[in-house]
A and B are shown apart, each in its own frame.
Chain A
Amino acid sequence: IQAASLTTATRLRPVHVLVGTGGGYVGYWQYGKYKDRELERQGIEVPPHVANEMEVALYKSIPTRLLSRAWGRLNQVELPMWLRKPVYSLYIWTFGVNMKEAAVEDLQHYRNLSEFFRRKLKPQARPVCNSHCVISPSDGKILHFGRVKNCEVEQVKGVTYSLETFLGPQTWTDISKGEDDAGSFQDLLVTKDGNQLFHCIIYLAPGDYHCFHSPTDWRVAHRRHFPGSLMSVNPGVARWIKELFCHNERVVLSGEWVHGFFSLTAVGATNVGSIRIYFDRDLRTNSPRYCKGSYNDFSYISSTNKEGVCMRKGEHLGEFNLG
């Protein structure tokens, strides 16, 4: 027995240990998913498995910003004419892009993938709905929507994040609410009695049109830029990482519409690390250096411009860029 165990130990190689542990983890993970499916089949609602602190720290340790900037550099390389059609056709096929809607359908027109990614649409491709006061600012998939309760917003069903962490402290207007009715952060945002706070989250997939427009008639008074991680915001990751949108780089535009407070926040991701706001030339996102947890404010209201930036429903507002 001693000889047998000795020969076994010498034959055991690191790769065997890796395969063994990896296989064990996958088996354990598959068994967990099997159990969830069984529970769902019996009509029992299964809470999403949210990553623990160690898993989040591990994921955040991946240099996503560096990867994102490298990905952006790569996509700025001008492609030779003969390579453009095959590269963009592969992208179109992979992500199901509908080039018939693009303002320029000729693939040779786009010098690199970055330009292709920023393509505009034919004006008639997206008619703006006139009968509703709020329209979708972009193409995408509705991750979640509804009323904001207890200052928590659901990123996907069952996984929430703090609205105050996401928007930052309410300092963009000098609210003169008395101490007693200052209440929660949510009460600070609601300016009119009887109103409620609502939210809607739209996920843009890689093949989607990546410009965004004004969702209603409103005046943009303030911009708050949070440098941050650039983790994937894929719905599967949004189900796994709580407070995901509070970790990622984002730009919060806030102001007023006919019913009071209104905000639009563009959240970056690994492959789409940069955010442009057309009327804000000073905004720089996905810079190499930033202080964790910091944000910088900018007001569009000045002594000469009391209104801020007036945006009409459907007007071009900004775009996401690769890298």
Chain B
Amino acid sequence: STIVLVFEAPKDFTFNLKAGQKIRFGEALGTM
């Protein structure tokens, strides 16, 4: 199964992720 988030945010929103990395519920996805 898959979860897809689509959302609007100010231009300076940045993800602190790497494609392919494992992630757990509650960990930061990104911020302004």
Contacts and interface: CB of A to CB of B under 8 A. Distances in A.
Contacts of A200: 4-5, 15, 17, 29-30
B23 A203 contact: no
Interface in B1-32: 1-11, 13, 15-32
Contact of B1 (A198, A259, A268): A268
Contacts of B2: 143, 201-204, 233, 245, 266-267, 269
A263 B8 CA distance: 9
A144 B5 CA distance: 11
Most B C-beta atoms less than 10 A away, residue of A135, A167, A211, A262:
A135
B26 A127 contact: yes
B1 to A, nearest CB: 4
Contacts, number: 181
Contacts of A261: 6-8
A134 to B, nearest CB: 4
Contacts of A216: 7
Q: How large is the interface on A (under 10, 10 to 19, 20 to 34, 35 or more residues)?
A: 35 or more
A267 B3 contact: yes
B15 to A, nearest CB: 5
Contacts of A143: 2, 19-20
Interface string A106-136: 0000000000000000000011110111111
B6 A132 contact: no
B5 A264 contact: yes
Most A C-beta atoms less than 10 A away, residue of B1, B9, B26:
B1
Contacts of B9: 195-196, 198, 259-260
Contact of A259 (B4, B10, B27): B10
Interface of A: 126-129, 131-146, 148, 153, 157, 163, 166-167, 189-192, 194-204, 209-213, 215-216, 233, 245, 257, 259-269, 272, 275, 314, 320
26 contacts: A126-B24, A129-B27, A134-B28, A134-B30, A135-B27, A136-B25, A136-B27, A139-B22, A144-B19, A145-B19, A153-B4, A166-B4, A189-B8, A195-B9, A195-B10, A196-B13, A197-B6, A198-B7, A199-B5, A201-B2, A201-B3, A204-B1, A211-B25, A233-B1, A263-B6, A265-B6
5 nearest interchain CB pairs?
Answer: A132-B28, A126-B26, A260-B8, A132-B31, A267-B2
